[in-house]
Amino acid sequence: MQKNDRDIIEQLYDPKTKKMTWREFIKGKMSPYMKKYGSHGAAMRQIAKEWKEYKSQAERALDPAPRRWMSAMIAGIRKSSDVRDPEQIVRNIWKRLPASKQAQIVKQDAAGTPFRYDLPLPDDHPTRCPAGTVRVVDPFNLAEVQVNVSPQHFKALDNTRMFEHMKRNDGTTALVKRCKSSTGNCNIFIDKEK
């Protein structure tokens, strides 16, 4: 990749996948559609039609990336990061790429061009106790802190309601606090010790 997309960077250093459910899809549409179509049945038929289109677009977004590109990106992420599921992250990066960039990668793959991982590498610094890491990604003015705490402290932190919940790829839940500003971005990730 020659030019890094901020969405891709956020996906790489904050991996999360969110699939829209039927309820989420209709939530924002029902009230305006009721006004527009006048009846619940007509509104639901229109929403169902749009849902099919949305699902179709989502399936097209799942088109597999070229295998050699996938392998290069996965290898780079494994070498430079401790994320739990690099394959899923690469699939998410592929889905977020514009169609023109996907076409360019497919064309390079067909021409036999070798791919190399060229996203900015994080600089990880372990904390004094072995249960934490401070990560800095200079090109994006991003700093993250990852810590593991006891179940008792995890519950106490959760009870402050200062943190959002984030589902990890292994099914566990982490507490997250994000700060985005013009001067830089900062994330705090808290996991429960096992």
**107 and 150 part of one domain:** no
Residues 108-117 have pLDDT tens digits of 999 998 998 8
**29 and 1 part of one domain:** yes
Final residue of a domain: which of 103, 119, 135? 119
Give the chain's domain count: 2
Q: How far apart are CA 174 and CA 164, in angstroms?
A: 8
List, edge to edge, every strand of the sheet that includes 164-167: 123-126, 132-137, 142-149, 184-192, 173-181, 164-167
**96 and 163 part of one domain:** no
pTM: 0.46
**149 and 81 part of one domain:** no
Query: What is the chain's mean pLDDT, rounded?
Result: 78
**90 and 64 part of one domain:** yes
> What pLDDT sits at residue 168?
83
Start-end of H helices in 15-150: 22-27, 30-37, 40-61, 67-80, 86-96, 99-110
Give the domain extent around 35.
1-119
**72 and 40 part of one domain:** yes
DSSP 8-state code for residue 17: -
How would you classify the pairing of strands 142-149 and 164-167? unpaired
Final residue of a domain: which of 73, 102, 119? 119
Residues 43-82 have pLDDT tens digits of 888 888 888 777 766 655 555 788 899 899 888 887 766 5
Residues 122-143 have pLDDT tens digits of 677 777 766 788 888 876 788 8
Final residue of a domain: which of 119, 138, 159? 119
